[in-house]
Amino acid sequence: MAITTVPGKHVDIKMWTRVDEVEPAALQQLRNISSLPWVVKHVAVMPDVHLGKGATVGSVIAMKDAVSPAAVGVDIGCGMTAVRTSLTANDLPGDLGGIRSEIEKAVPVGFGAHRDAAFDDRDAGDWKQFWARFEDLTPAVKARADKAVNQIGTLGGGNHFIEICLDTSKRVWVMLHSGSRNIGNELAQHHIGVARGLTHNDELPDPELAVFLAGTPEMAAYRHDLYWAQDYARRNRAVMLRLISDVLRKRYRHIRFDEPISCHHNYVAEEKHFGEDVLVTRKGAIRAGNGDLGIIPGSMGTGSYIVRGLGNPESFESASHGAGRRMSRNKARKMFKRSDLVEQTKGVECRKDSGVIDEIPSAYKDINEVIANQSDLVEIVAKLKQVICVKG
C-alpha cells in the first residue's frame, strides 16, 4: 500500500496503514515520539500498530546518540523462533491432545520455571561466559540470579505461545513466541525509572519517553544490560525449541529439523540508515533487511507467515511483528464469552477456557490485511496454520 505521511513536530510519521485505523491515543503517542529532537528522518509505523506504554507498539525509531528504553518495551528481546520439520500432516495423530500435553510438561508456562537449569551447550553455547556477565548487571537484579537461571527455557503468559503448524504443503513446523521473562522486565523497569530522573528529560511531552544520551554512564549501563537481556531472550527461545524438539524426537525417531529462523521484535540495534549511524529501536517490529527471514504471527486461531525482507529503507528495513491487537485485553474479556473462543479456535488443539479469552482471535487485527499492507517490506515465504497452540 502507499505510505501515509502524517506531519510531526520534529520529524514526520510514515505509516503502513491508514490514519483512521490507528486509535487516537496511539496516534498521540506517535506525535509525542516525533517531537523528540534525537529522532532521525521520520518515525516508521507498521500496519499492526496499537497503543503501548510510552512508545507505540509497531513503531520503529532511529535516534542519533540517544535511546529511549520505553521505545524497546519491558519484555526486552521478545521475539519469534520457527523451524520446519520433515514431518507431514499424515504423521500427526488424529487426537493432538497427547502432543500438546507432552509439550506443556516439557516447557513451563505462565509463572512457571524449571526446578533445575534446563540448558546445556546444545542450545546456544558459551553459557559460562553468558552467566559471568550477569555479575555486571545493575545491582537491582542481583537477587534474581536463581530465578533467571530456572526461567531459561520457559514460555511465560499473555500473548506468548508454542505452536505446531502446517504450511500449505502440509509440512509440520514448530513455532514459538517468548522473550526475556522476568529478568528482562525488571531490567527494563529499572532503567526506565533511571531515565525519567535525568534532567534533560524534564520537558518531554511524555515522561515515559525519557532517553539516555551517548557518552553518559547511564547510557553505558543501559546498553550493557539491554544487550545481555536480548541475548537471554534468544537463548530462552533456543532452549525451548530444543525441549520441544526432544518431545517430537521421542515420538518420531526419524524426524529432521531445518535451520531455525529466529528474530527479535522488541530490541535495539546499532545500524546505518540514510547515511547516519543510529540506534534503532523496534518495538513490535522485526528487521526486514534484504533477504532477512522473519516471522509474522497472527492469533491463536488464524495462522502466521514466514517472510523474507525486501530491505525497504523508508521502514528502516523493518516489518510488522504480528497482527497487532485491535482491542485491549479488558475489552476482549468483556465482549467475548468462552463459547466465542471455542468457535474461533475450532480445529486447534488449545486451551479454550476463560483464562485466555483476552487472546481470542477477534481481539486481533486481520493478519492477511496486515501482510497485504506491507507488500513493499516483505515477501511471503510460507503461510502456516496452527493445529496445536500452547498458551501460558
Looking at the structure of the chain, the number of domains it has is 1
Whether residue 3 is predicted with pLDDT greater than 70 in this model: the reply is yes
Average pLDDT over residues 259-266: 97
Domain range spanning residue 284? Answer: 4-326+364-391
Q: Which residues contact 308 (CB under 8 A, 6 or more apart)?
A: 291, 292, 293, 294, 378, 379, 381
Residue 1: band (very low, low, confident or very high) from pLDDT cuts 50, 70, 90: low
pLDDT confidence of residue 296: 98
pTM, two decimals, is 0.96
Answer whether residue 127 is part of any domain. yes
List the alpha helices (DSSP H) in 107-156.
127-132, 145-150
pLDDT confidence of residue 154: 98
> What are the grid coordinates assigned to 373, written together?
499492507
Answer whether residue 134 is part of any domain. yes
Instruction: Return phi, psi of residue 310, to 5°.
Output: -105, -5
Catalytic residue among 42, 50, 114, 321: 321
Paired with 80 in beta bridges are 177, 263
Pairing mode, if any, of strands 12-15 and 42-50? parallel
> What are the grid coordinates assigned to 28, written together?
498521540
Mean pLDDT of the chain: 96
Answer whether residue 144 is part of any domain. yes
- CA-based angle 301:307:310, to the nearest 5? 145
Average pLDDT over residues 199-225: 96
pLDDT tens digit sequence for 21-33: 999 999 999 999 9
Answer whether residue 380 is part of any domain. yes
Residues 233/79, Cβ–Cβ less than 8 Å: yes
Instruction: Return phi, psi of residue 326, to 5°.
Output: -110, -5
Answer whether residue 227 is part of any domain. yes
Answer whether residue 345 is part of any domain. no
Answer whether residue 73 is part of any domain. yes
Quote the CA–CA distance of 146 and 155 in Å, as a whole number: 17
DSSP states of 75-109: STT-EEEEEEEEEEGGGS-S-THHHHHHHHHHS--
Answer whether residue 264 is part of any domain. yes
**pLDDT over 90 for what percent of the chain?**
97
The CATH number covering residue 111 comes to 3.90.1860.10
Residues 181/229, Cβ–Cβ less than 8 Å: no
Average pLDDT over residues 154-160: 96
Give yes or no: 10 in active site. Answer: no
